[in-house]
A and B are shown apart, each in its own frame.
Chain A
Amino acid sequence: MAEIKVETGGESNIIIKRSKLAVLGTILRRDWQLYSLLVLPIIYLIIFKYGPMFGNIIAFRRFMPGGKIYGESWVGLHYFKMFINDPTFWNVFKNTLMLGGLTLIICFPMPIIFALLLNEIKAKKFKKFVQTASYLPHFLSIVIVAGMILQLTAVNGTINSIVEFFTGEKINFIQQAEWFRTIYVTSEIWQTMGWGAILYLAALTTIDESLYEAAKIDGANRWKQTLHITIPGILPTIVVLLILNIGSFMAVGFEKILLLYNPLTYQTSDVISTYLYRVGLESSNFSYATAIGLFESIIGLVLVLSANGISRKLTERSLW
C-alpha cells in the first residue's frame, strides 16, 4: 500500500491510502511539470548512453556495415574466442596495463607532492602565480598537447638540443618504441599535476591551525608536522581520488595515443582502445572490435566496483 501526502485547501495534511494507480495519477497531476523536465534528458540517456550499451549485442552477432544495426545472425562467443587467440590483443592488453600502471604509480602522487610543496609557501602572490601557471595545460585541446609533444621531441626540438649537448647524438624519440612510455607518462604529468592539486590544496586549508600550534609547543618540527598533521588531514581526499584513479586505470589516454603513435612504436604504444579503433573502424571488423570493447568496459566496471568495495571495507570511505 502506498501513501501520499495531499494538500487540502491549505488546511492540515491528511494521509490517504489508495490504490497505486490512483496514487500515480495524483503524483502526475501534482508534479507533471517537474516530470516534463525529465523527458528530454531521459530520452537522451536512453538513445545515446543506453543505446550503445545494448548495441554491444553485435559482439555476439555477425555485423555487416550498412546492414541491420543489431547485426545479421548469432555467432555466440566467436569473436571473444578470436581475440583471446589473437597475440596482438595480448600485446595491446599488456601495453594498456603498463601505461595505466605507470600513470597510476607516477602521476597519481605528483599532485599530492606539488600541493604539499605549495602549502609551505607563505608568499600569497608567488603561490597564486605558481598555481595559475600549473593549471594552464589542463585547458588545452589534446591536439595542441600532441602538437607540443611532437615539436619538443622532434629531431630539431629542444629536448634533442639538450641530448645532443650531453651525448653528441640525436634521438628520434617519437619513432622509437622504447621511448613511447616515457613520453606518454612525462606529458601526462605535465597535463595533470597542477590541476590535480586543486582538491588537495582545498583539503589543506581545512586543517585546523590549532593542531599545528599544539605540535609546535610539543617541539615538532615542520617535517614532523607534515607527517603527523598535514598528511593525515588530506588522507580522505587521497583515498577518494585513489579509488577514482584505480577505477579508471584501464582508460588510458586514447586520444593522446592516437595522435602520438605510429606503426614504428605499436610494440609499446598500441593499447586496447587504439587497437579496437583500427580493427573496428579502419578495417571494418565491427563485431570483433565490439567484443574487445565490451571486454574492456566490463573490466573497467569491475575495477571501479572493487576499488570502491575495498575502500569501504578498509577505510569506511567510498564513492557510494
Chain B
Amino acid sequence: MKESKQYKIFKVFNVSILIIIVFCTLYPFLNVIAQSFSSEAYINAGKVTLFPRGFNIDTYKTIAQDSMFWINYKNTVVYTVVGTAISMFLTTIFAYALSKKRLVGRKFLTFFAVFTMFFNGGLVPNYVLINSLGFGNSIWAIVIPGAISVYNMLIMKSFFENMPEELEEAASIDGLNTYGILLKIVLPLSKAVIATMILFYAVGHWNSWFPAFLYLDQKELFPVTMYLRNMIAGVTGATSAGASSADNLTQISANIKSVTMVLTILPILTIYPFVQKYFVSGVMLGSVK
C-alpha cells in the first residue's frame, strides 16, 4: 500500500497537533501541582510553570493541620456515599419498573419523567421549595433534590429492557416475586451498568458545590468544594489555614489555593485510570436509543 506524500506530511502534522492538544489539556494540572510545591515568591514572580520552584511542602502541612479542611472533606465523603446510595436505590427501582412492557401506563410515566429533562422549575421556585421543606442547613438539601437523574434512569431502563425475558419468567415460575426477581436475578446480571451508574452519581456528588452554596450556611456542613470555592473567591478568613499562615488576611495565596486544589482532585486522579472505561461505556449505553 502506497501513501501519498501529502498524507505523510499530514500524519506528522496530525501527531504534532494531538501532542499539543494533550499538552494543553494537562498543562493546568501540572501547573497547579507545580505551584502547590513552590514558594510564594516564585509564584508571584510568575516563574512557576511545569516544575516547582523554591520547593516547599509547608503549605501541605498547614492545610493538613486545618481541622475545617478535614471536616469539609469528611462531609464530601458522607454526601457522596449517602447521595449515591439514595440515587441508586430510586433510579434502579424506577428504571426496573418502567422497563417492564406489561406495566400499564408505562408510556405516560416515562414521559412524565422525561418531560422534567426539558422543562425545569427554575432556581427560585426550587429554592423556595427546599427551604419550605425545612431542608436548609441539612444533608437533605444536598442529597435529595437531585436524587434521580432521568438521563441515568433511561440508561438503566434500556439496559433492563435488553435482558432476556425468559430468565425472569423462569424465576417467577420458581416462585420468586417481583422484588425477589429484581434482587436475585436482575441486579446480579447488571453489574456493569450498576458500576457505571454509581460512578456517574458519585462523581456528580463529589464535584457538587452549588446546592451547598445555596442551602448551607454553617461552615461545619460544607463539602470540600465549598472550602475551595470560598478560597478562590477570596472570602476573607474563609479558612483557619488561610488566616493563620498569610500575613495579608484579605488575600489567600496562590500556593494555598493550589494545595487545596491538588488535595481535592487527588482522589479523582487516583481512581480515574481504573474507572475511565466504565464512564465511556456509560456514554455508549446512553446513546443507544
Q: Name the B residues within 8 Å of A157 (CB-CB).
A: 46
Q: Name the B residues within 8 Å of A152 (CB-CB).
A: 28, 31
Q: Name the A residues within 8 Å of B287 (CB-CB).
A: 199, 202, 237
**Please, how many residues of chain A have a CB less than 8 angstroms from a CB on the other chain?**
89
Q: Given A143-B209, A151-B32, A300-B119, do A289 and B124 touch, yes or no (CB 8 Å)?
A: yes
Q: Given A151-B31, A151-B257, do A137 and B25 touch, yes or no (CB 8 Å)?
A: yes
Q: How far apart are the CA atoms of A204 and B177 in the complex, in Å?
A: 44
Q: Given A151-B257, A190-B24, A198-B280, do A139 and B121 touch, yes or no (CB 8 Å)?
A: no
Q: Given A41-B148, A199-B283, do A51 and B28 touch, yes or no (CB 8 Å)?
A: no
B32 touching A148, Cβ below 8 Å: yes
How far is the CB of B149 from the nearest CB of chain A, in Å?
11
Interface 1/0s, chain A 3-33, versus B by CB < 8 A?
A: 0000000000000000000000001000101
B22 touching A151, Cβ below 8 Å: no
Interface status of A238 (Cβ within 8 A of chain B): no
Which residues of chain B in 169-211 are interfacial with respect to chain A, using CB atoms and an 8 Å cutoff? 177-179, 182, 203, 206-210
B178 touching A33, Cβ below 8 Å: yes
Interface status of B96 (Cβ within 8 A of chain A): yes
| B26, B122, B145, B147 pick with most chain A CB within 10 angstroms | B122
Interface 1/0s, chain A 183-199, versus B by CB < 8 A?
A: 00000001001100011
Interface status of A144 (Cβ within 8 A of chain B): yes
B123 touching A158, Cβ below 8 Å: no
Q: Name the B residues within 8 Å of A222 (CB-CB).
A: 4, 7, 10
Q: How far apart are the CA atoms of A132 and B273 in the complex, in Å?
A: 8
Q: Name the A residues within 8 Å of B24 (CB-CB).
A: 190
Q: How far apart are the CA atoms of A235 and B240 in the complex, in Å?
A: 54
Chain B interface extent, by class: 35 or more
- Cβ contact of A293, chosen from B7, B46, B123, B232, cutoff 8 A: B123
B147 touching A44, Cβ below 8 Å: yes
**B112, closest chain A residue (CB):** A45
Q: Name the A residues within 8 Å of B102 (CB-CB).
A: 31, 34
Q: Name the A residues within 8 Å of B203 (CB-CB).
A: 139
Q: Name the A residues within 8 Å of B118 (CB-CB).
A: 247, 300-301, 304
A202 touching B148, Cβ below 8 Å: no
Q: Name the B residues within 8 Å of A168 (CB-CB).
A: none
Q: Name the B residues within 8 Å of A133 (CB-CB).
A: 22, 25-26
Q: Name the A residues within 8 Å of B4 (CB-CB).
A: 221-222
- Cβ contact of A144, chosen from B31, B120, B132, B261, cutoff 8 A: B261
Q: How far apart are the CA atoms of A247 and B98 in the complex, in Å?
A: 26
Interface status of A52 (Cβ within 8 A of chain B): yes
Interface status of B279 (Cβ within 8 A of chain A): yes
Interface 1/0s, chain A 277-297, versus B by CB < 8 A?
A: 100110000100110011011
- Cβ contact of B233, chosen from A54, A259, A281, cutoff 8 A: A259
How far is the CB of A183 from the nearest CB of chain B, in Å?
13
How far is the CB of B209 from the nearest CB of chain A, in Å?
5
Q: Which stretch (A85-93, A94-102, A113-121) binds chain B?
A: A113-121
B148 touching A44, Cβ below 8 Å: yes
Q: Name the A residues within 8 Å of B207 (CB-CB).
A: 139-144
Interface status of B241 (Cβ within 8 A of chain A): no
Q: Name the B residues within 8 Å of A38 (CB-CB).
A: 93-94, 97-98, 109
Q: Name the B residues within 8 Å of A314 (CB-CB).
A: none
**B228, closest chain A residue (CB):** A143
Q: How far apart are the CA atoms of A152 and B284 in the complex, in Å?
A: 34
Q: Name the A residues within 8 Å of B90 (CB-CB).
A: 40-41, 44
26 A–B pairs (Cβ distance < 8 Å), ordered by A: A31-B104, A31-B178, A37-B96, A42-B112, A45-B113, A48-B129, A53-B119, A58-B125, A134-B25, A136-B29, A140-B268, A141-B206, A144-B261, A148-B28, A151-B31, A154-B254, A156-B43, A157-B46, A158-B27, A158-B49, A190-B25, A221-B4, A280-B123, A294-B122, A297-B122, A300-B118
Known: A33-B179, A45-B113, A55-B129. 9 other contacts (CB 8 A): A37-B182, A58-B124, A121-B14, A136-B29, A141-B264, A143-B229, A150-B232, A221-B6, A293-B124
Using a CB–CB cutoff of 8 Å, the interface residues on chain B facing chain A are: 4, 6-7, 10-11, 14-15, 17-18, 21-22, 24-29, 31-32, 35, 43-46, 49, 90-91, 93-94, 96-98, 100, 102-104, 109, 112-113, 116, 118-129, 132, 144-145, 147-148, 177-179, 182, 203, 206-210, 214, 225, 228-229, 232-233, 254, 257-258, 261, 264-265, 268, 272-273, 276, 279-280, 283-284, 287, 289
Using a CB–CB cutoff of 8 Å, the interface residues on chain A facing chain B are: 27, 31, 33-35, 37-38, 40-42, 44-45, 47-56, 58, 63, 69, 114, 117-118, 120-121, 126, 129-130, 132-137, 139-144, 146-148, 150-152, 154-158, 160-161, 164, 190, 193-194, 198-199, 202, 221-223, 237, 247, 255, 258-259, 273, 276-277, 280-281, 286, 289-290, 293-294, 296-297, 300-301, 304, 319
